[in-house]
Amino acid sequence: DVQLTQSPSSLSASVGDRVTFTCRASQSISSYLNWYQQKPGKAPTLLIYVASNLQSGVPARFSGSGSGTDFTLTISSLQPEDFATYYCQQIYFTPITFGQGTRLEIK
């Protein structure tokens, strides 16, 4: 199975900060990497699909990049509603796998 390793596991930041999360795959997954945001008690919501495509309705402060094994999710200027847990997901191989998540907390 493809292992996805997210770093950091948790991050404290302030409103207005620029933050970057990384997701590393144990083998090449081309660009088949998606990012989701999950708030407590809620279902995950799609932010970025196929590495760099912004989902409709998602603010432009979110961006994604990468291919092969290394991927990043960047939030250019943190807003209060962005404090949540972020997961990456690979859809290139079966079984589909997720990273362990990065928890973004308010500093």
User: What is d(CA 49, CA 1) in angstroms, rounded to the nearest whole number?
Assistant: 20
* Cβ atoms of 9 and 102 closer than 8 Å: yes
Instruction: Label residue 9 left, alpha or beta by phi (over 0 means left) and psi (-120 to 50 means alpha).
Output: alpha
Closest distance to another protein from the beta carbon of 96 (Å): 4
Closest distance to another protein from the beta carbon of 48 (Å): 9
Residue 49 or 78 with smaller CB distance to another protein: 49
* Cβ atoms of 3 and 26 closer than 8 Å: yes
Closest distance to another protein from the beta carbon of 43 (Å): 4
Residue 17 or 54 with smaller CB distance to another protein: 54
Residue 14 or 94 with smaller CB distance to another protein: 94
